[in-house]
């Protein structure tokens, strides 16, 4: 049968990305403490296409994703998936985004009841020749309680669910568990969320938020400071969006920074590679 | 050219609804006080299809919707649209749902600054022979402040944006402006929402919600009582959903009732027709 | 600490459903052939609330869902979850909906390459005193190729991805695997879909769809006939929606039927209970 | 009352963007031929916040959007909105995105029946000191018919609805009507879409698509060539996504290019300013 995709093209346009999107498959994601969890993945996988070829071979992307859907992965394995992709598709560059809901065990703040909380997580990677960029993102919901409302009112203060969307790109050779990113962000709202709260827990989170009022600006700044101090992060983007309980629209604050090269703390380096060269960041 | 749709079918299945969905067009919706507003409509229009015909003629649905997209309508005009539809499609029954964002003017509670607030509204109608059912629905966002959290905590109380989704079917010959439905529901939260609040307004809504704590159960019950007392309503469904500021999931309460025939208040009847026979309600 | 929810209420409104919505948890769903698969569940769990109580206890719903998130379930186990829910919440009625993506193994039609395809599935159950209603639903994507377009054109025919959304309520004591429902529906489009198609497979599905043109009306009728003949189904709803490749809106056909009591085929009855009494159907 | 937002902050973090998101308001959008149309806008408006201030004043953003919601705008007016925003908020930079459904009149290809088709459009602008970036985007749905499927099959070819998402940033002083962008893109699919097709029209679009097979790669390349040749475009991003009728996932191709400085065609320059300096592009 004729290979239509393999025919030549004469428009002189090298395509940056061509591939598949919205591919749902189960994946196994490595957990920090041990083992891995089965997640529902939503994958986007693509390669570049030189100007002389008419099309790519989409079925190979699906084969690669099926192959990897049953092997435990962390962000680090994305490099391997993309190396296979480049080889199978005969491409220089490859790009993968894998989004999924990820569950982390936590305990109610007073009663100590164990429970699972869900977070939207995204692993992304780009391989371009010898350059690799690994990005991990998490949407972390928190409570924010308005400092202005608290100050000007005789009692009460409006508060609401807000989402902190953080994406970080690792310094070459470094790595952060998504569980650690989530814990870092979760501590920076007026209070963190829990799936299950008994009465004593509800009293705790209500008072904790009231004692700790924060604008979206405050949460953003605290996350920015934390990321600037994080040696393993070379670039980050953070968006804090608050589903205001007093409005029918949202408040938000947003920041994107490429970090300066940081002095290397030897403890932090243990177990990671040495290459800390800043890589030119690109918009995804 | 052959009329494939007009061919005969031998499976013996009379189809209840066939038509078009997700048709976006501008529509003109009548306002209570005067005039009308241009809205972005999302329409679903269908008819029944007798068992002997293979298919319907979809282009006619689009012609009808285009015709009506430039004439001011309220729920009452839906009957006319469906009569035209039945005639053009040679059908016994027809069904229309028209969803849109609708804006209502309101003023900030203390500063009095005028503003527009948006609500998701739905008009729906079914005509079946001589029977007509008209339904209007609105999603009304409000603040809810948790009575339990307020009672057990030394200070503060968790609160959040909640949505009251109300759909009512009119008693035959009766009619309610969607602006009136929205106002009724909006008064039943811990506090109503506003697009624009100056500092004195923010103080007001914060204190108002704190003085007026309500569970989703409380809001639901207050809406149910209001609808049971509403002579123009023959059936209603209400769903109160609260985007809990302390959890990553929502709380909700739901009710669906066909109202008993109500004694007719002569004032309420003025200006409406006399037929108050309860019509058998059907799901959607 | 005060039990605010347990306080008495004087509005005289017994609430039909109050509970939690949008609860994401992993669940284990039994497969037909053997074992079970880990799915990402989205649960809604509720009970009725007598008129004299002010509120329900939401944390108990979360405890129940956590308990069941690690035990393999099919539709049949929903009854047990609801019995526990009624007991823990001291309620007469309980209602559960559990939505998830479910994967079914299939093979490419010519090359035979094995693969996993994803379907949106929903389990739902209502227990009301001694009455139980179990519903299973699946969204099954298929190709539809337009008979009119094929007939009137010199070559080609427009075709597109369409979704058949089928929900069935089981005859009391009967049960159908969701894999079987999916297979039944999938065979009724112009052609079924596959995640992975090699060139010989793509030729097959292209020609198969062209040889088998179907309107949404045709697919609907074929599903209706199949369900009318299915002794284990007491009620069904089917919606066929086609993302027309020639329009920016969709075509659809919809049907909802409560089935007549069917003569019992002894073979079909084997292994199921005998109660075939039709239960009054209610809208969701 | 205390101005909490005006208090000083000591974390040393200048915030890049803070403001409001998801603000729904009607807007009046200028049309190419004459007049303007009322659209349902979804606005995001933000400013930068110097490191020494604790917070911004969100109510002012809403006032500005309300002010502009009743004056006819094109992309060009976004500059004025942002100048007012910077002044009212005392900020150096401001950013606006305004998304809406926009209707364009078109005629059925054979019968000539006039109709309105809807497109998702986005206006965006950033003002940073003296630098202004204006971006216009449109999601244009088209039919794509697969060249491989056509070539290898005895008859037929799979086809589907695809969406071309194009965003362009204007060369300083230049401007393109969104109607023109849409027309350009719409001509580059296998066939364009229409809301209303009579039988003779359906024959036309079926045969036209079959005669004009295109992969997502083909559509992308044709759009890229068109944009490279467009003197008024300084940067563009294009994403072609195809809702494959034979799969349950999508195929896509993506490109982002900053254009080289183009020789200025005197005709094209008429009526526009002369500054054609390429502006450093940034990821949105």
Q: Which chains touch A (3 or more CB pairs under 8 A)?
A: B, C, D
Average pLDDT over residues A193-205: 98
Which pLDDT score is estimated for A172? 85
Flag if D116 and B39 touch (Cβ within 8 Å): no
Query: d(Cα B48, Cα B57) in Å, to the nearest integer?
Result: 12
Percent of chain A with pLDDT over 70: 91
* Segments in chain D below pLDDT 50: 264-284
**Partner-chain contact D159 C159, CB within 8 Å:** yes
pLDDT over 50 at B150, yes or no: yes
Q: Which residues of C touch A118 (CB under 8 A)?
A: 24-25
* pLDDT tens sequence across A93-134: 999 999 999 999 999 999 999 999 999 999 999 999 889 999
Question: In the prediction, which pLDDT does B187 show?
Answer: 98
The two three-digit tokens of residue B150, written as one number: 């307020």
Amino acid A263: pLDDT = 52
**Residue D159 to residue C191, Cβ atoms within 8 A:** no
State residue B284's pLDDT score.
35
Assigned token pair, C71: 């035990």
Q: What is the pLDDT of residue D172?
A: 85
Beta carbons of D254 and A18 less than 8 Å apart: yes
Q: pLDDT for C159-191, tens place per residue?
A: 999 999 999 999 988 999 999 999 999 999 999
Q: Please report residues of A whose CB lies closer than 8 A to that of C118.
A: 24-25
Which H or E run contains B46?
Answer: strand B36-49
Rounded Cα distance, D29 and D52, in Å: 38
Q: What residues of chain C lie within 8 A of the CB of B221, using their CB?
A: 9, 11, 13, 15
**Which element (helix H / strand E) includes B266?**
helix B266-269
pLDDT value at residue C263: 52
Eight-class DSSP state of C277: P
**Which residues make Cβ contacts (< 8 Å) with residue B181, sequence separation at least 6?**
B136, B138, B166, B168
* Percent of chain C with pLDDT strictly greater than 90: 86
Closest residue in B to D2 (Cα) is B199
Distance from CA of C282 to the nearest CA of A (A): 32
Report CB contact under 8 Å: A249, D216.
Answer: no
Cα–Cα distance between A142 and A163 in angstroms, integer?
6
CA distance A101 to chain B (A): 13
* Residues of chain D found within 8 Å of residue A245, distances taken between Cβ atoms: none
Q: Which of A40, A115, A198 sits opposite C101 (nearest CB)?
A: A40
Q: What is the mean pLDDT of residues A176-189?
A: 97
pLDDT of residue A284: 35
Is the pLDDT reported for residue B169 higher than 60? yes
Three-state DSSP class for residue D130: coil
Report the interhelical angle of B216-228 vs B178-186 (nearest 10°): 140
- Is residue C57 within 8 A of residue C14, CB to CB? The reply is no
Contacting residues of D for C215, CB less than 8 Å apart: none
Can you tell me whether residue C211 is helix, strand or coil?
helix
Band (pLDDT 50/70/90 cuts) for residue C261 is low
* Distance (Å) from the alpha carbon of C211 to chain D's nearest alpha carbon: 9
pLDDT in tens, B238-255: 999 999 999 999 999 999
Q: How confident is the model at residue B259 (pLDDT cuts 50, 70, 90)?
A: confident
What's the whole-number mean pLDDT along residues C14-31?
Answer: 98
pLDDT of C257 above 90: yes
Here the tokens at position C138 are 């699946």
Give CA separation, D47 vs A237, C252, C262, in Å: 17, 45, 68
The whole-number pLDDT of residue C268 equals 41
Residue C105 is encoded by which pair of tokens?
């193994």
B partners (3+ CB pairs within 8 A) are A, C, D
Query: Looking at the predicted structure, is the pLDDT value of residue C274 above 90?
Result: no
* Cβ within 8 Å, pair C254-B2: no
List b or e across A101-132, with b for residues whose CB sees 16 or more CB atoms inside 10 angstroms.
bbbbebebbeeebebbbbbbbbbbbbbbeeeb
Q: C7, C44, C215: which to substitute to probe chain B, counting the most B Cβ within 10 Å?
A: C215
Tell me, what's the pLDDT at B189?
Answer: 98
Q: Compare all CA atoms of chain B with the CA of D1 and give the residue at the minimum distance.
A: B199
Say if strands C15-30 and D233-242 run parallel, antiparallel, or are unpaired.
unpaired
Provide residues of D within 8 Å CB-CB of chain B.
1, 3, 23-26, 37-40, 59, 62-63, 66, 69, 101, 103, 115-116, 118, 195-200, 203
- Nearest CB partner across the interface for B154, out of A145, A153, A207: A207
Alpha-carbon distance of B64 to B82, in angstroms, equals 9
Q: What is the mean pLDDT of residues B183-193?
A: 98
The confidence score (pLDDT) of residue B19 equals: 98
State the nearest Cα–Cα gap between B227 and chain C, in angstroms.
12
Q: Percent of chain B at pLDDT above 90?
A: 86
| CA separation, residue A84 to residues A66, A125, A127, A260, D254 (Å) | 13, 13, 11, 32, 21
Please count the other Cβ atoms lying within 10 Å of the Cβ belonging to residue C13: 20
Q: Give the nearest partner residue to C1 out of A24, A62, A203, using CB atoms.
A: A203
CB-CB contact of B141 with A248 (8 Å): yes
Within C51-113, strands assigned E span 93-107
Predicted TM-score (pTM) of this structure: 0.92
Angle between helices D178-186 and D216-228 (to 10 degrees): 140
What is the average per-residue pLDDT within C250-262? 88
D-chain residue closest to B115, CA distance: D66
Whole-complex ipTM: 0.90
Q: Where are the alpha helices (DSSP H) in D72-215?
A: 78-89, 147-152, 178-186, 199-211
């Amino acid at each position: 049968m004729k290979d239509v995709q393999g025919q030549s093209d004469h428009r002189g346009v090298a395509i940056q990305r061509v591939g598949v999107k919205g591919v749902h498959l189960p994946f196994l994601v490595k957990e920090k403490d041990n083992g891995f969890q089965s997640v529902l993945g939503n994958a986007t996988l693509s390669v570049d296409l030189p100007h002389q070829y008419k099309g790519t071979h989409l079925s190979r992307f699906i084969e690669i994703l099926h192959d990897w859907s049953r092997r435990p992965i962390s962000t680090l394995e994305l490099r391997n998936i993309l190396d296979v992709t480049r080889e199978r598709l005969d491409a220089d560059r490859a790009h993968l985004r894998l989004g999924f809901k990820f569950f982390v065990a936590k305990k109610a703040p007073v009663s100590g009841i164990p429970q699972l909380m869900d977070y939207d997580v995204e692993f992304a990677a780009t391989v371009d020749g010898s350059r690799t960029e690994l990005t991990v993102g998490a949407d972390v919901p928190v409570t924010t309680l308005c400092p202005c409302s608290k100050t000007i009112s005789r009692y009460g203060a409006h508060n609401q669910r807000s989402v902190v969307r953080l994406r970080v790109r690792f310094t070459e050779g470094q790595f952060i568990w998504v569980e650690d990113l989530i814990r870092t962000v979760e501590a920076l709202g007026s209070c963190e969320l829990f799936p299950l709260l008994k009465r004593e827990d509800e009293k705790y989170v209500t008072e904790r938020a009231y004692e700790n009022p924060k604008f979206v600006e405050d949460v953003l700044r605290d996350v920015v400071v934390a990321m600037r101090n994080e040696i393993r992060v070379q670039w980050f983007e953070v968006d804090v969006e608050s589903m205001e309980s007093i409005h029918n629209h949202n408040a938000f604050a947003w920041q994107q920074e490429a970090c300066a090269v940081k002095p290397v703390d030897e403890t932090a380096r243990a177990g990671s590679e040495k290459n800390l060269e800043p890589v030119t960041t690109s918009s995804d």
